[in-house]
Structure 1
Amino acid sequence: MSNDYGLWSLVVINSAVFIFFAFSFIKPKSKMDWRSLGAFSAFIIALFTEMYGFPLTIYFLSGWLSEIYPQIDFYAHENGHLLHTLLGFEGDPHFDPLHLASNALIVIGFFILASAWNVLFQAQKQHRLAKDGWYARCRHPQYLAFVLIMFGFLLQWPTIPTLVMFPILVFIYVRLAKYEEGIALAEFGGEYEVYKETTPRFLPQIGRVVS
């Protein structure tokens, strides 16, 4: 196997950096916070394990890939961007449309995560319903952010484990969102009912002004 893999120090460092970023933005306190962070962390660890540690997906598909692309060494790290090859892109995979879109989604996701947490933190300190900023556009911007980040990573480095995990994690976030809505309804009553009727759960209302 190419020396481009087996870099377990990079697996640990990259996983720790992204998990720490997420942790610093959401500052988990409740069980729900820890569950959402834990689900995201599992995805990140699985991703970087294949990106720098052991390319399980490439190993599993090696027979099929070698038949279709006999001239390509998929164990070279640059060729691990499978969508780059499968969709017929040429040149440096870090500058193809998918990778650029991936970077944009990841940056936007972390921006939403940071902005939403600041609004939620202020609302919790004042014991009021969070409905400003990104919470004025959708009811669960933090989960929207996690989905954007994970989907962004899938665009640049899809693997079998992360492709399997992604819909499962989206389902988990939907369940957590519904559970949180029940708690908010019990705490804020009619105010939350109005907020729920006028604000979508996940898909943001772009026309609304974010304060």
Structure 2
Amino acid sequence: MDEHFGHWWAVIAWIVTFGLFLLFIPFYKKSQRKPASVYLAFVVALALEMFGVPLTMYIVSGVIGASLPEGVLCGHTLVSLIGEWGMLAGIFCYLIGIGLIVWGWRDIYKHYWSKEEGKGELVDKGLYRFIRHPQYTGFLLITLGMLLEWATLPMLVMWPMLVVLYYRLAKREEKEMELHFGDRYVACRQRTSMFLPVAAVKRLFSGKKTMPAADIKTTDPALRGHTGAGGSETRPYSETLQQEPVRFS
């Protein structure tokens, strides 16, 4: 296992490669800084201990007075259980996570970030039809893949922190979106899931393609079907969602 260490060029390459994905989020926003910092610290911790110096192994071995077996706080995490399949599982998480980050950026940049202030649209197409925060799911999958490949003590401490930070950030952003888009965002939230496509899977097995308009709770009379002359309802809420692009007022 000693051949893994002392490769400082690999440390730098790893940090730069996975750090670049932070460019796909609005990291200039104050709310993004803390989770982005923890993510980057996670990447640095893995790079240092996988390619540089196995600090966790040295510290823990010194405390207990014995060497750690490979896969326990040093080395490929699941090698003693499933061999190289653990590393392949990590690579699979990397690829899915990267895809979610880049694809999610494409959708939200096209419809929201690239627009003038006050003219951004509610993004409910592409990945956002199924989950509301695909990019955060991507970062969590990438870091989970790193744990599956080479778990160390600092990483085991930081990963739950990262989950909590992204959850709190997602909740904060959803409150902001509800203020901007009102009941249209509430309807979107009711038919999607936060990080995993749970709602979409439930609809798949139940045979429902979308949530019926009658099941969507809204408190804004302007977004419900309104009554025309003679008391007939002329614009159901579902048609309002489909026909009117959602923009800032």
Q: Secondary structure at the match of 2:123?
A: coil
Change (3 A) 1:103 1:2: closer
How does the TM-score come out when normalised to structure 1? Answer: 0.81
The corresponding residue for 2:101 is: 113
Higher relative contact order (CA 8 A, sep 6+): 1
Deviates more, 1:164-173 or 1:2-11: 2-11
Structure 1 unaligned runs (5+)?
91-95
Q: Does 2:145 match 1:152? A: yes
- Residue 176 of structure 1 is aligned with which of 169, 182, 185? 169
* Higher fraction of helix: 1
Structure 1 stretches of at least 4 aligned residues deviating more than 6 Å after TM superposition = none
How does the TM-score come out when normalised to structure 2? Answer: 0.69
Q: Secondary structure at the match of 1:80?
A: coil
| Cα shift readout 1:161-189 (whole Å, capped 9, x = no counterpart) | 00110001100000000010111011111
Do the aligned residues in 1 keep the contact of 2:90 with 2:149 (CA within 8 Å)?
A: yes
The corresponding residue for 1:93 is: none
- 1:67-146 to 2 correspondences below 5 Å: 80-85=75-80, 87=81, 89=82, 96-124=84-112, 125=115, 127-146=120-139
Do the aligned residues in 1 keep the contact of 2:98 with 2:138 (CA within 8 Å)?
A: yes
How many residue pairs are counted as aligned between the two chains? Answer: 194
Do the aligned residues in 1 keep the contact of 2:77 with 2:147 (CA within 8 Å)?
A: no
Percent sequence identity is: 35
Residue 27 of structure 1 and its aligned partner are, at CA, apart by 5.3
Q: What is the alpha-carbon distance in structure 1 between the residues aligned to residue 153 and residue 56 of structure 2? A: 6
Do the aligned residues in 1 keep the contact of 2:76 with 2:86 (CA within 8 Å)?
A: no
Structure exhibiting the larger radius of gyration computed from Cα positions: 2
Q: Does 2:192 match 1:199? A: yes
The corresponding residue for 1:47 is: 46
Deviates more, 1:10-19 or 1:55-64: 55-64
Residue 40 of structure 1 and its aligned partner are, at CA, apart by 1.5
* CA-atom RMSD in angstroms: 2.6
Question: One-letter code of the match for 1:116?
Answer: G
Q: What is the alpha-carbon distance in structure 1 between the residues aligned to residue 130 and residue 94 of structure 2? A: 19
Do the aligned residues in 2 keep the contact of 1:129 with 1:192 (CA within 8 Å)?
A: yes
| Cα shift readout 1:181-208 (whole Å, capped 9, x = no counterpart) | 1110111111111111111111113557
